[in-house]
Amino acid sequence: MITHLKNGKLYDPAHNKDGVVEDIYIFQGRIIPKPLDSEKISQTYDLTGKIVMAGAIDMHSHIGGGKVNIARMMLPEFQLKEQQETKNYTEPEAHICTPNCSHNATPSSTDAGFRYIEMGYTAAFEPAILPINARQAHLEMGDTPMIDKGGYAMLGNDDYFLRLLSNKADQKAINDYVAWTLHATQAIGIKVVNPGGISAFKFNQRKLDLDENNVHYQVTPRDILKSLSTAVQQLGIAKPLHVHCNNLGTPGNFQTTLDTMGASEGVPMHLTHIQFHSYGTEGDKKFSSAAAQIAESINKNKHITTDVGQILFGQTVTASGDNMVQFLNAKHANPKKSVIMDIECDAGCGVVPFKYKDKNYVNALQWAIGLELFLSVEDPWRIFLTTDHPNGAPFTSYPHLIRLLMDKSFRNDAFSKLNLDAQAMSNLTSLNREYSLYEIAIMTRAGAAKLIGLNDRGHLGVGAGADITVYTEQADHEAMFAKPDYVFKDGELVVKDGKVVKVVWGATHTAKPAFDIGVEKGLKSYFEQYHTIQMDNFKIANDELTEDGRGRIIVHNNTHQKEQS
Amino acid sequence: MTKPMISPASTATCPACGLLCDDINLSQLNNNTCAKSIAFFGQKSVNASPQIAGKPVTLAQAIAKAAEILKKSKQPLLSGLSTDVTGFRAVFDLAQKTHGSLKHMNAASAQRNLNVLQSTGWQTTTLTEVKNRADVIVCIGTDVVSHNPRFFERNVDCDGMFISAKNRQLIFVGNAPNNDHIKSNALKASWVLPCRADDFPSATGALRALVQNKPLNTPNIGGISLADLTTLADKLKQAKYAVMVWIAKDLDFKFADLTIQNITQTVAALNETTRAGGLALGGSDGDTSANYANTWLSGYALNDSEATHDAVVYINSFSPSKAAPKTNLPLIVLGNCNLQFADQIPDVFIPIATPGLDCSGTLFRVDSSVVLPLKKLHENELPLLADVAKQIEALL
């Protein structure tokens, strides 16, 4: 059964196609070459005048794992009954919404999948899986329909790693532990959050600079970054170390961020939600934009990639592993409540509801700083479109954000309504850049797939998984990106006119580099002595993700991938 | 009738309380220090027959009868909910299909914690942090071991990475606890501040005030002398990592949530200068699992409200001694094969497999960050709750 997408205008940066009119053929979930005339075409979609892109990939969105579930639990006011669109769950083919449908910061797992696919996103990656909590992350993602998913396992604040590092373990021992963690947690990448800082907070340190020692382990964030980024590189996993820098949100933190870029000594690193790490101390309010310095440094440092973590105005909730910082942010909680946790000598978490206001100086400037970064980082292959869902804004605001990037007058109109002092401190209106459709396709498709190592996603070439989104071109790009005409997931039509027409379940993407199983000797005795569960129960078996018949595991490495089922 | 599946060398995970101890050696069950665990693993898995009104029927007949009852029902109550994540997912789907409401058997005590979470939030810790860091452990209104028999053995009466057992201080506010499980003499000599349940609100309120450095001006509060409360507050403030433990089920009085909030706000005040964490213990019958899974599936936490209903489905995989609450409405029981029916013969009874015994499963630990697999220990013919629920749903 061959599906023919005819005459679409393709934006496929992986193949340098910038609005080229071409046909696409799909067979058994994949894009195939033009079939022989003798082969039967079962279905043809005339896409004349339509825009065709690969399915979008969100490389950083908190869709699974404990933190957002705590937020859901703590914040019943986010899901007021009157905001719900009651629909019949048992016939999802007929509807887009579930009974508890939400368009807010903490959608249910079902709604998260629906909201993503309705915008043409076909994959999302949970960026902060605590290894000890990975089973919950996969349970939640397993209940998230429509899209592919995966996650990054957090290391660098766990006592096992910090003991290795402070005992001057060799790089091979670190590499084995990192690889073992990827296997045990079924993750595709490694993240470090406030390197060493979450651990330091447990020893009552309240801040940690890049070259400051963790009081107990006498190692610095710089040591941690060097060790983990090297491990990731030497293991050959595609996704560079995902770094949430020290000093998030602190005025003047841009210097830490600039210095962090050098910490890996040229080894690739991804600095995430960089908007929250680009703050200066200039002006009367001692809070200013350092976007220009950060962007300039990113432009120079080719080993660095980044995503923005744009804030947008309104109610949301911040959910982070960085409990050192979230403990301080709890004083600004709105509504006034928060959860701060130390977790299992593994990591921590902090969940703080927050309302970004356009008349607030700091919030308005945060908004501008994010956009300044988007417009000043030159290479769209090295910067990604995120709101750090839900921390900066819910992911459902992506179409609005895309319009801000593509439409200068729309952006400047929005800017002119902000807090006046913030306007005076931003150069946003002097930035004339408008993103093109091609650049948006890089940021949200080709670049994201390349970064994570999803070789058969994010592009429209022969052999790619047929995750495809079709839009009608409109002057209002927010309207355009909010409601695709069609979305195909693995070749099946799943969204028509912005509404889900078929419920499907995506795969889980993982990386499982080879390692020396001897690493388990030290781990086993560590678990027996210090943990409260056994090592074998820490590890997540493939069956746990697949036995319900919905899940699939795809294992990636740099050169090939294979499917485990 | 049942044959063992687990190799003698491996260990089982125990769902009998919220701790989920995963070091259970089944070949040496007699060495187990926990009566709850011995009782759980000592259950005989009989291949009990499904019943309609007390009479044996086939599984298909029982499922058809259950579906018939639910078809007539406009809004059933799905209660008990003693199951694991897999079972709960299927029960959630059944509730969606039947417009049913969901209520766990531990809802009343869970609601006390939820009220605090939804009002101010809290600052908490988990078992491995307690084991490796806690130097002062204060248990308020609970002996802990009645609910979680091995809590002290596994997490306090042992040396951690940053603290040894002999350097910990264990303090109880309430009744003198049963110390049988504690080996270390230092911990056995734990300090007890006797306090009646009626006095917990004022005693915890005073402790909170003292930790917040607010002067109090009364010789004793809730039967505890100001000097003792001040000493307690000082010990907490001087601790490197204090842990304050409560069990919502033991705080069973009106407005107990405000007492819990006194505890959690004491922790918050401590964290201004040193480190501390709250720890809500207890938990069993899959309560944490049902609550967490319901929260991600629906966007809401499970709560203690009870919607108007016209039929009851009672689900109880784990605890044969916990019978369905008496009701005049049609009653369907999906439960443990040893479940007894003293008060009321259900309209339909379908014996189901118990996760961790008759089938594998997945369960959240009481401190909520750790999720563990449960093992299938032997072959038998008991159906899975998820399969039964799906088959009922298919007939609706």
Here the ipTM equals 0.96
Question: What global pTM score does this model have?
Answer: 0.96
Query: Going residue by residue through chain B (396 aa), what tens digit of pLDDT does each one get?
Result: 345 565 555 799 999 999 999 999 988 877 777 999 999 999 988 878 999 999 999 999 999 999 999 999 999 999 999 999 999 999 999 999 999 999 999 999 999 999 999 999 999 999 999 999 999 999 999 999 999 999 999 999 999 999 999 999 999 999 888 777 777 777 777 899 999 999 999 999 999 999 999 999 999 999 999 999 999 999 999 999 999 999 999 999 999 999 999 999 999 999 999 999 999 999 999 999 999 999 999 888 998 988 899 999 999 999 999 999 899 999 999 999 999 887 789 999 999 999 999 999 999 999 999 999 999 999 989 999 999 999 999 999
Distance to chain A for B341, nearest Cα, Å:
33
Whether residues A75 and B118 touch (CB distance < 8 A) is answered with: yes
User: pLDDT value at position B48?
Assistant: 87
Helix (H) or strand (E) holding A125: strand A121-129
pLDDT tens digits, one per residue of B261-304: 999 999 999 999 999 999 999 999 999 999 999 999 988 899 89
Q: Which amino acid is at B10?
A: S
Nearest CA in chain B to A334: B120
Query: Which homologous superfamily is A2-54+460-500 in?
Result: Urease, subunit C, domain 1 (2.30.40.10)
Of the candidates A179, A181, A194, the residue with the CA atom closest to the CA atom of residue A272:
A194
Same domain? For B267 and B124 the reply is yes
Give the largest Cα separation in chain A, rounded: 74
Number of domains making up chain B: 2
Same domain? For B171 and B232 the reply is yes
Neighbours of B271 (CB within 10 A): 18
- Which residues, including other chains, have CB under 8 Å from residue A120's CB and lie 6 or more apart? A53, A55, A56, A469, A471, A481, A484, A487, A495
B368 in A contact zone (CB under 8 Å): yes
Nearest CA in chain B to A328: B272
**From the list A106, A330, A531, which residue is nearest B299 (CB)?**
A106
Same domain? For B323 and B229 the reply is no
Contacts of A74 in chain B (CB under 8 A): 117-118, 121
Query: Going residue by residue through chain A (565 aa), what tens digit of pLDDT does each one get?
Result: 999 999 999 999 999 999 999 999 999 999 999 999 999 999 999 999 999 999 999 999 999 878 999 999 999 887 654 344 433 344 333 333 443 444 578 989 999 999 999 999 999 999 999 999 999 999 999 999 999 999 999 999 999 999 999 999 999 999 999 999 999 999 999 999 999 999 999 999 999 999 999 999 999 999 999 999 999 999 999 999 999 999 999 999 999 999 999 999 999 999 999 999 999 999 999 999 999 999 999 999 999 999 999 999 988 999 999 999 999 999 999 999 999 999 999 999 999 999 999 999 999 999 999 999 999 999 999 999 999 999 999 999 999 999 999 999 999 999 999 999 999 999 999 999 999 999 999 999 999 999 999 999 999 999 999 999 999 999 999 999 999 999 999 999 999 999 999 999 999 999 999 999 999 999 999 999 999 999 999 999 999 999 888 999 999 976 444 555 4
Map residue A242 onto helix, strand or coil.
strand
- Same CATH fold, A56-452 and A2-54+460-500? no
User: Which residue range forms the structural domain that includes residue B340?
Assistant: 3-106+286-394
| Segments in A436-518 forming alpha helices (H) | 437-441, 447-452, 477-482
Same domain? For B126 and B248 the reply is yes
Q: What is d(CA A146, CA A125) in angstroms, rounded to the nearest whole number?
A: 14
Give A123's strand partners: A57, A148
Helix (H) or strand (E) holding B305: none
Q: What is d(CA A30, CA A14) in angstroms, rounded to the nearest whole number?
A: 16
Same domain? For B196 and B89 the reply is no
Contacts of B300 in chain A (CB under 8 A): 72, 76, 79, 100
Same domain? For B304 and B331 the reply is yes
| CA B269 to the chain's CA centroid | 27
Same domain? For B82 and B159 the reply is no
Q: Look at the domain A56-452 and name its fold.
A: TIM Barrel (3.20.20)
Distance to chain A for B369, nearest Cα, Å:
6
Whether residues A532 and B125 touch (CB distance < 8 A) is answered with: no
Task: Give the CATH number of the domain where residue B47 resides.
Answer: 3.40.50
Same domain? For B324 and B214 the reply is no
Structure tokens at B177: 């606890």
Q: What is d(CA A467, CA A484) in angstroms, rounded to the nearest whole number?
A: 13
Nearest CA in chain B to A73: B301
Q: Residue A188: exposed, middle, or buried by beta-carbon count in 10 A (0-12, 13-18, 19+)?
A: buried
Q: What is d(CA A389, CA A484) in angstroms, rounded to the nearest whole number?
A: 21
For chain A, the structural domain boundaries read 2-54+460-500, 56-452
Same domain? For B86 and B128 the reply is no
Map residue B340 onto helix, strand or coil.
coil
Contacts of B274 in chain A (CB under 8 A): 204
| CA A73 to the chain's CA centroid | 22
Of the candidates A471, A354, A488, A516, the residue with the CA atom closest to the CA atom of residue A50:
A471
Whether residues B127 and A344 touch (CB distance < 8 A) is answered with: yes
**From the list B13, B22, B129, which residue is nearest A345 (CB)?**
B129
Of the candidates A43, A436, A69, the residue with the CA atom closest to the CA atom of residue B301:
A69
B167 DSSP assignment: G
Q: How far is CA A331 from CA A273, A357, A538, B44, B120, in A?
A: 22, 16, 35, 54, 12
Helix %, strand %, coil % of chain A (to 5)? 40, 25, 40
Same domain? For B276 and B139 the reply is yes
Give B224's strand partners: B221
Whether residues A111 and B299 touch (CB distance < 8 A) is answered with: yes
Same domain? For B247 and B294 the reply is no
Interface subset of B 273-332, CB within 8 angstroms of A: 274-275, 277, 291-293, 295-301
Same domain? For B211 and B242 the reply is yes
Per the listing, tokens 């680009």 go with A278
Q: What is d(CA B303, CA B322) in angstroms, rounded to the nearest whole number?
A: 20
Give the A:B interface size as CB pairs under 8 Å.
160
Contacts of A95 in chain B (CB under 8 A): none
Structure tokens at B80: 């008990």
Q: Which of B231, B252, B280 is the last residue of a domain?
A: B280
Q: What is d(CA B81, CA A182) in angstroms, rounded to the nearest whole number?
A: 34
Of the candidates A9, A30, A64, A19, the residue with the CA atom closest to the CA atom of residue A389:
A64
CB B106 within 8 A of CB B284: yes
Q: Which of B247, B280, B313 is the last residue of a domain?
A: B280
- Which residues, including other chains, have CB under 8 Å from residue A347's CB and lie 6 or more apart? A130, A132, A154, A157, A158, A193, A198, A321
Q: What is d(CA A389, CA A105) in angstroms, rounded to the nearest whole number?
A: 7
Task: Give the CATH number of the domain where residue B236 resides.
Answer: 3.40.228.10
Residues in chain A: 565
